[in-house]
Amino acid sequence: MEKKRIYLSSPTMHGEEQEFVKEAFDTNWVAPLGPNVNAFEQEMAQYAGISHASALSAGTAAIHLALRLLGVGQGDVVFVPSLTFSASCNPVVYENAVPVFIDSERDTWNMSPEALEKAYEKYPDAKAVILVHLYGTPAKLDEIREICDRRGTVLIEDAAESVGSFYKGKHTGTFGKLGIFSFNGNKIITTSGGGMLVSEDKELIDKSRFLATQARDPARHYQHSQIGYNYRMSNIVAGIGRGQLLHLEEHKKRKKEIYAQYKEAFADIPGISMNPLNTDGDANCWLSCMTIAEGCSVTPDMVMDALEKENIECRPIWKPMHLQPVFGDCDFITVQEQGSVAEDIFNRGFCLPSDIKNTAEDMERIIRIVRSFFLS
């Protein structure tokens, strides 16, 4: 008999989601936009402590609109961390701009302020910085923001993985000119698919809504003076988000418990380290990750293969963007004399199952398999 499937991070539904969706059906608000969209924007903005939000079809759409709104275009240099998912940088290429990848630092695995400083020596006129809070851990925001301010460069925060994470009491995604949230199916709360663009600048958010609804001019007939997109969130999807948001703190609490359980379970094994958390932040611990010490006879592939053989889903660390074939011609900035921090984390790490529905038996099963490689 096949063993129970344990997921990396699957959606967890409750009941309120269905009520909001039912209301949309009952009132025939099944088309894009509607009361759930308006309310979800307001409720998410209130939770994050920011003034304005625009609900969109995906976090990627939010990044794309952020770049458009800030005038990033042909040939402009945009600094992006290398250790991230490709959605963080693909929109840079949509606008024919040039992504320049920045190495990580070891304290949080996020963009290295030191490497960012070095990047400015080579590209002093960079147009924007996209900062990612990897796996829900806040980056070194004070240092990164100071550099951006001093250089006169606009900061965009990709908080796709860090909904519910705070840095010095302030929600991630609210430090830059524009911030991005994602509600993809594997995120800490989900709308099945969807995202949000947030800002203190009302004019930018209003413009984002205009662009996201095909940039239709305020005329009786269909008139368009600029290129637009079909990026707005639907009223059905927003209803799911509203129900999920009611349980965000509950999800976050469980994610943190999972991280703490792994950390304690592997504390006596010198070859294992958990992904570091920013001591100035409150991470949502979206995914718990581990690295294996260099020179150890055990490799991430060996452990992942063993877990997958037992019907347990796991995942490699994001493959750095500077190693991706599609970005082979892009520059990469590191302060390492040899190799890079991002590449080292990728080579030695992987993501552990972090599903909030994991039972005590599920966790014991995962931990037992991992430990077996080191304490045989």
Q: Domain ranges in the chain?
A: 16-245, 248-372
Instruction: Identify the weakest region by mean pLDDT among 29-33, 271-275, 326-330.
Output: 29-33
Question: In whole angstroms, what is the distance from residue 279 CA to residue 114 CA?
Answer: 19
Question: In whole angstroms, what is the distance from residue 78 CA to residue 66 CA?
Answer: 12
Q: Are strands 52-56 and 332-333 parallel, antiparallel or unpaired?
A: unpaired
CATH classification number, 16-245, choose in 3.40.50.2300, 3.30.479.30, 3.40.640.10, 3.90.230.10 = 3.40.640.10
The rounded percent of the chain whose pLDDT value lies above 70 is 99
| Residue type at position 174 | T
* Residue located via tokens 């070859």: 271
Non-local CB neighbours of 291 within 8 Å, separated by 6+ positions: 272, 273, 275, 345, 348, 349
Kindly indicate the confidence band of residue 219, based on its pLDDT and cuts at 50, 70 and 90: confident
Kindly indicate the confidence band of residue 124, based on its pLDDT and cuts at 50, 70 and 90: very high
> Per the confidence metrics, is the pTM higher than 0.75?
yes
Q: What is the pLDDT of residue 296?
A: 95
Q: What is the pLDDT of residue 32?
A: 76
What the block records as the tokens of 374 is 């080191």
Helical (H) or strand (E) element with 43 = helix 35-48
CB-based contact 303:370 (threshold 8 Å): yes
CB-based contact 196:44 (threshold 8 Å): yes
What the block records as the tokens of 193 is 């698919």
CB-based contact 216:234 (threshold 8 Å): no
pLDDT > 70? residue 376: no
How many residues can be counted in the chain? Answer: 376
Q: Are strands 170-171 and 178-182 parallel, antiparallel or unpaired?
A: unpaired
> What is the DSSP track for 162-200?
-TT-EETTEETTSSSSEEEEE--TTSSS--SS-EEEEES
H helix and E strand count, the chain: 12, 15
* Biggest alpha carbon–alpha carbon distance for the chain: 74
Kindly indicate the confidence band of residue 76, based on its pLDDT and cuts at 50, 70 and 90: very high
What the block records as the tokens of 214 is 């095909």
DSSP H helical ranges for 129-168: 141-151
Q: Which CATH architecture has domain 248-372?
A: Alpha-Beta Complex (3.90)
CB-based contact 83:342 (threshold 8 Å): yes
Q: What is the pLDDT of residue 52?
A: 98
pLDDT > 80? residue 1: no
The pLDDT tens digits of the residues spanning 292-343 come to 999 999 999 999 999 999 999 999 999 999 999 999 999 999 999 999 999 9
